[in-house]
Structure formats: C-alpha cells, structure tokens
Amino acid sequence: GGCLVEWSVAKLHRSLEKGRKLGGQDDSAKEEHEMVNKEASNLLLIVCYLYNYGVVHCTLIYDLVRDFIANFTEMDVESLMIVLGHCGQQLRSDDPTALKDIVLLVKDRAQKAQQREETTTTTTAAAAPNHPNTAPESSRIEYMVDTIIELKNNKPRKQDAALREKTNARKKCLGRIKSAASRTLAGKKSGSCLRVTLRDVLDAETKGRWWIGGAFWAGNQHGKPPLWDEGDNDGGEPGSEDDADNEGA
C-alpha cells in the first residue's frame, strides 16, 4: 500500500501545481486546464478511498486540506468539496478537533477571498476586461463553507449518508479479510493504517521512506530522479520493466 499512497499523492500534488499555474493563463490553455483538473480529481478520489478503507491515517487528508486552503484557487475549492463529500464524516469521527481548526481556516480564507474579489472586480473590469480570473466563484465558496459547517455540526446530507453507507459495507468486507490475514500471519496485527504525512511523501526522494523497511537514509546521495518522474515515457510507475533491468545490471 505504501507505493500506491506515495504514487497517488505525489502525482496529485504535481497535478495541482500544474493546474494552479494553468488557471492564471488565457483561454488557449482552458482545455489543458480541464484535463489536469479531471486528473487531479481522480487522483484525489483514490487518496480519499485509501483513507476510507483504513490504508492511510487522517493526518494525510488534513494536510491536503490545509494545502487546498492555503492556495484556495477554484481547483482547490473543488478539491475541498471532493474531500468533504467522500470522507468528511470519517474525518469528523477520527479527529474532530482538527476539523474545528479547518472550519476556522476556511471561514477566514473565504472572507478574505470575497473581500479581494469585491475590490478587484471593478478595477480589472475597466483595465483588462479579458483578464483571466483564478479566484473561485463566491457562490461555490458559500456552498463549501455551508457544507463544512454542517459537517462540524454533524448534519450529514442525504447523498453523503448514502455514500457513507456503501463505504461502511465495503469496510466490513475488508475487515473480515484483514482478520483472516492476521490469523495466517501468526498473530501479527495487520489492521494498522499508514501514518504518513504530506511532507513525508513529498520529501521521499531526499529523506527516504521511513514507512518501508530499509528505505530511510540521510539524503539523496546519488541525485537520482523519482521512479515516476514526469519525463519518463511510461509514466514512471514503480516496478516497471526498466527498473527490473537496472537492478539486474
């Protein structure tokens, strides 16, 4: 599970960074921005379900949420809505104190965004009517704030309750599989989740992977690129044939 977590989170972070840059350009990059946005949404869904099924700890999800709030572009607001819709209730159950802090951060960021929008709308409309706007719409911000407040007050929406019911059914099935696996491992526990943070994943190539035995070191001494570097033609997924050939050589 560690390789999948690292791959999905690292690729998600790169897609978000690329989408934030494309969002500030003109309409010529609109199609590419939409493709990057969809890619980031799909990767975020993978991370959300890894959390829902107990593969990763809520610390990673809260780190991603704080990153979304810090940037707070239209792409980040959409990402926040995905997280709230697919694992909001589980986040509230695992760490309600952190959720309260997130609510305060969202309120403050939303207020600043609306104030900035009011002050810049009149000036940019007159000076550059075709100037692109990367800030999220005020209606989406209000909807997102209402959603997270309802989550804090434990008022789940109907669609969220239906999704949570399906997730719990699958978690029960996975729980039985974990119980059977623990019996075959001579009593070893197999139900613990991976307590990795966003910074741990982003610094994996320079500081190593403490969650993998023997994969932690002082630094990237050889300066090798990541296994899934964007420059690789095959996407750079771990365990590729090229990696096997290099190891054999």
pLDDT digits (tens, 9 = 90+) for 90-147: 899 999 999 999 999 998 998 888 887 777 665 554 555 555 555 677 788 888 888 8
What's the one-letter identity of residue 163? Answer: L
Distances (CA, A) of 40 to 45, 125, 208: 9, 31, 25
What is the average per-residue pLDDT within 220-238? 53
In 10 A of CB 136, how many CB atoms? 21
Q: How confident is the model at residue 244 (pLDDT cuts 50, 70, 90)?
A: very low
DSSP count for the chain of H helices, then E strands: 10, 0
Looking at residue 247, its pLDDT comes to 47
Q: Which residues pair with 216 in a beta bridge?
A: 208
User: Does residue 227 have a pLDDT over 60?
Assistant: no
- The pLDDT of residue 216 is 61
Question: Three-class SS of residue 236?
Answer: coil
Q: What is the pLDDT of residue 240?
A: 47
**What is this structure's pTM?**
0.76
How do residues 15-26 score in pLDDT, each as one tens digit? 999 999 887 666
Those residues whose C-beta lies under 8 Å from the C-beta of residue 33, and which sit 6 or more positions away, are: 19, 22, 23, 25
Q: What is the rounded CA–CA span in Å between residue 45 and residue 32?
A: 20
Looking at mean pLDDT, say which of 39-48, 106-115, 202-211 comes out highest: 39-48
Total Cβ atoms within 10 A of residue 120: 13
In terms of C-beta density within 10 A (0-12 exposed, 13-18 middle, 19 or more buried), how is residue 105 classed? middle
Q: What is the DSSP letter of 53?
A: T
H/E stretch holding 189 reads none
Instruction: Average the pLDDT over 221-230 and give the result.
Output: 56
Rounded CA separation 159/161 (Å):
5
The yes-or-no verdict on residue 197 having pLDDT over 80 is yes
Contacts of residue 175, defined as CB under 8 A and 6 or more positions apart, other chains included, come to 191
> Looking at the predicted structure, is the pLDDT value of residue 224 above 90?
no
134 DSSP assignment: -
In the numeric block, the tokens 């799909």 are attached to: 42
The whole-number pLDDT of residue 154 equals 85
